[in-house]
Structures are given as structure tokens and as C-alpha cells.
A and B are shown apart, each in its own frame.
Chain A
Amino acid sequence: MTDILNAFVLAIELIFGGDPEFVEIVGLSLYVSLTAVGLASLIGLPLGALVAVYRFPGRGTVIVILNSLMALPPVFVGLFLYLLLSRSGPLGFLGLLYTPGAMILAQCVLATPIVAALAHQAMRTLYEEYMQQLCSLGARTRQVIPTVLWDGRLRLVSAVMAGFGRVSAEVGAVLIVGGNIANVTRVMTTTIALETSKGNLALAMALGLVLLLIALGVNAAAVLISRTAR
């Protein structure tokens, strides 16, 4: 019980104390996760809309794969990318292993199927509603995709938020490809894992609370954005 109380006190101290190491860890966490989700959205949103709008052979299979990939285990993605990026791996020449770039890549792989699958669901409902009307107004199929993406933008915010929720909380993938190197690749979740194993339970809890606050803040921002866009 004292650990939990201490955690709250520590969390407040951390947030208002402005400890440079803490700020750096939080900053890197946000940088990695937001960049990863940004990239995942660039790929996932059009991909989801594409699958919702176009009828092509194998479409059902693509949907099943996208939905299953939502449950991709982070440690597996981490390990897979580790093998690709390690010095002897096929992408070793990029020198990405143990850099924030590798962490962004890993989280992007995790977030893309989530964003794409949720975007597909939202876009499919919208497309079914719009299809006849857009066709009547003279829209060609390639013009339909930007239309449903734009008109469904409020629903797409939730798809992107789900992707962010997934990557900001995961530890397995960033730990393996980032290596949790202090001042280089240490993010909030890897720090929590490290401090827990060192027995600094209060500090780990405090970091967890901060992570929760960030998630709260990002989601609140998303709600505000969608309110003003309405």
C-alpha cells in the first residue's frame, strides 16, 4: 500500500520537478509513438478505405489478415525486426538496430493493421451509404476513396487513437529493437520494466501513472479536435 502512495507522490514530483532525464524519457516516448502512429495512419487509412471501396479477388482474405494482425504480439514483431535489422540480417546495412528509428519501425508495424482494420470498418459503412449517390454525381472509384476518408474523418480519429493506445503502451517490441539504452532508446514502458526488475516499484508505478496521464491527454485532444471539426 505504501508503494502505491509513494508512487502517487513520486509521480507528482516527477511531473512538476522537471527532472531532465524524466523529460527526455517522456519526450522520446511521445516522439517514437506519435511518429509511428503518423506513419501507420499514412499507410493504414488509405489501405482501409481501399479495401472498403474496391472489389478485387482475395479481398476477403486481406480483411481476415488485417483483422488477425491486430493481435500481433509485440515481442514477436520485435524479434522479427531484430533479425531483419541485426548486423548480419538483410536490412543490417541500415544500421537501425538500437536506434529510435528501429523503435518507430516496430511500432508502425504494430499500429498499421489496427488503423487499417478499424478504418476499413468505418469506411465500409460510409461507402455503403454513399455509393449510389457518389456514382450518380459522377464519381469514379479513385475519387470515392478521398471522399469517404474526408467525410469519415471523425470516425478515423478513433482508429488512429486505437493505434496510438496500442503502441504507447507496448514494451516488448521497443525493448528488443531499441535495447533500452539510457539517453538513447529508453522510453517510459522500458523504464517501467527496468525499474520493476530493480525493485524500484514506486518509481515504476509513478512512470505508469504518467503514461496513463499522457494517454488521457492525447485522447482528450482527439475529442476536442473532432468537436471543432464537426
Chain B
Amino acid sequence: MAILPCRAEGLSFRADGKPLLGPLDLELDDGGTTVILGHNGAGKSLLLNLLHGLMPPSAGHVRWLGPDGADNRRRQAMVFQKPVMLRRSVLANVEYGLKLRGVARAERRRRAAIVLQRTGLADIAERQARALSGGEQQRLALARTWVLEPEILFLDEPTASLDPGAIAAVEAIVTEIRDGGTKIVMTTHDMGQARRLADEVIFLARGQVAERGPAGAFFAGPASDPAQAFLEGRLAW
């Protein structure tokens, strides 16, 4: 059973009458990693927030077309650039989402233990989440969503302020989640990361989809002018 594909129709967002995103149409199907690229202010994070349903669009809508589309809220997850750690232990943070879904205690423990092992957090499961380093917190944020086995996972600049070691750890986890069959949709400023992780690229410019295509082709030679300028490091907007 599935909630995907996810279709945005005429999706737009305005603040104080100023258009920040769209109107745009977009469809996301299952499998692979879609990386959203674009300059600051292009609307990348906004698009993720709208797709994830954290804010209502000014116009248009997001539809989940799969047979379980009505239950989409609990089949998707998101990791924020600065994840909010609950004032609890690492283990309790991982179990929280399962608790919300009414999963029994023993089963919660079992599933949390597996995910903590996979994210390398098993040894610090009893530590207070807020006392962790930035890299550990981001791994915990991933563990917290992974344990929910989402069908689609949104990542908003997940490694923005991390050191290379922590970035590598996060990327390894993201890859493993993707290999498990979860659709990944992420934004990043790190071109190296985009090349390493992307199966597909969506390029946003001024709130519109300027280009979309397979990652290999995009990085070899983008078709649109804004994307070409972006990859060449020219400021064109």
C-alpha cells in the first residue's frame, strides 16, 4: 500500500502579496533521491515545507495519489536543517514517533534498537539528546524518522553546518534509507553532496522549476540558462 505518487498542482505561496514560490506543478514518484537545487531564496525549503504539509499553500494543493493517500500525514517524514531535539534521552527521541502511532512498548524498543545500531547511536542511547554534538543530533534526527519507515523522507539542508566526518555519516545513513526503498527529496547547498547523492535534480529559480532531469545529465550539461549559470558559479537570477 502506498501514498505516492505525490502531485503538486498550481502550488504557490505568497507572503504579504509577494510571490515566493510557484505557481508550479510537480509530481514525485517512489524510488531514488531527488535533489532540489537553486540559489538562496529560490524557494527550496518552502517547497519542502509545502509538500510535507507544514504550511498551507496560498493557492493550489498537494495530492497524494496512492491508495493510502488519505493517511499521508503519518507516512512521510522530514529532517530539518536545525532539528528540534525533544528534552529526553536519545532512545526516547527515537521512540516518540512510534508512541504517537500507538506502537506497543516492546515493539518500540525493538525497532528503536535496530535504528540506533544502524545510525551508530546505540552506545549513547541513554544520553540527553540536547547534550549531543551537531553531527550526533542530525544522526538522531535521521534515526527518529527512519524508525517510522516513511515512504517519503524530506531533508532540508541536512548537513549545512556539519564537519566532513559528520557529513559522511549523514550521507551514508541517507543512502541506506534510500536503498531500503524510501523516496528521498532533499535540498542542499553542497554541490559535491548533490553529485554524490542525487539520482534526479530539480532546479528551482525564482520560485519556478527551471529544469528537472536525471542527475548525470544535469551535471554534465544543464539545459536551462539559470542552471548553467548556477553550476558555473555565475550569479544570474
Interface residues of A (CB under 8 A from B): 129-130, 132-133, 135-140, 143, 147, 150-152, 230
Q: Is the CB of A138 within 8 A of B73?
A: yes
B74's partner among A132, A138, A147, A150 (CB-CB below 8 A) is A138
Are A136 and B74 interface neighbours, CB within 8 A?
A: no
Q: Which residue of B lies closest to A129 (CB)?
A: B84
Q: Which of A130, A138, A140 meets B97, CB within 8 Å? A: A138
Is B219 an interface residue, CB under 8 A from the partner? no
Pull 14 A–B residue pairs with CB atoms less than 8 Å apart, ordered by A.
A130-B84, A130-B86, A132-B84, A135-B54, A136-B52, A137-B96, A137-B100, A137-B144, A138-B73, A138-B101, A147-B86, A150-B88, A152-B87, A230-B128
B102-132 CB contact bits vs A (8 Å, 1 = yes)?
0000000000000000000000000010000
Known contacts A147-B86, A151-B86, A151-B87; A132 and B80 CB within 8 A of each other:
yes
Residues of B within 8 A of A151 (CB): 86-88
Asked if B100 and A138 make an inter-chain contact with CB atoms under 8 angstroms apart, the answer reads: yes
How distant is the Cα of A132 from the Cα of B83 in the complex, in angstroms? 10
Residues of B within 8 A of A230 (CB): 128
List of A residues within 8 angstroms of B50 by Cβ:
none
A129 proximity list for chain B (CB < 8 A): 84
* Cα–Cα, bound, A132→B52 (Å): 11
Contacts of B54 in A (CB 8 A): 132, 135-136
Alpha-carbon gap, A150 to B77, bound state (A): 23
Q: Is B142 an interface residue (CB 8 A)?
A: no
Interface of chain B residues 66 through 102 with chain A (CB within 8 A): 73-74, 77-78, 80, 83-84, 86-88, 96-97, 100-101
A137→B97 contact, CB < 8 A: yes
- Mark each residue of chain B from 30 to 48: 1 if its CB lies under 8 Å from any CB of chain A, else 0: 0000000000000000000
B148 contacts the other chain (CB 8 A): yes
Q: How far is the CB of A144 from chain B (nearest CB, A)?
A: 10
Q: Determine the chain B residues whose CB is within 8 A of the CB of A140 once the complex forms.
A: 100
Q: CA–CA, A147 to B88, complex, Å?
A: 11
CB distance from B15 to the nearest CB of A (A): 17
The 3 A-B pairs with the shortest beta carbon distances in the complex, nearest first, are A133-B84, A151-B87, A138-B74
B100, A136: Cβ atoms closer than 8 Å: no
CB distance from B104 to the nearest CB of A (A): 16
Chain B residue numbers with a CB within 8 Å of A150 are 88
Report the bound CA distance from A226 to B100 in whole Å. 26
Partner of A136, one of B77, B101, B128: B77
- Find the B residue at minimum CB distance from A138: B74
Chain A residue at smallest Cβ distance from B93: A137
Q: Contact partner of A138 among B80, B83, B128, B148, CB < 8 A?
A: B148
Residues of chain A within 8 A (CB-CB) of B73 are 138
Contacts of A133 on B, CB cut-off 8 Å? Answer: 80, 83-84, 86
- Chain A residues, Cβ within 8 Å of B74: 138
The answer on a CB contact under 8 Å between A143 and B80 is no
User: How would residues 124 to 147 of chain B score, 1 for a CB under 8 Å from any chain A CB and 0 otherwise?
Assistant: 000010000000000000001100
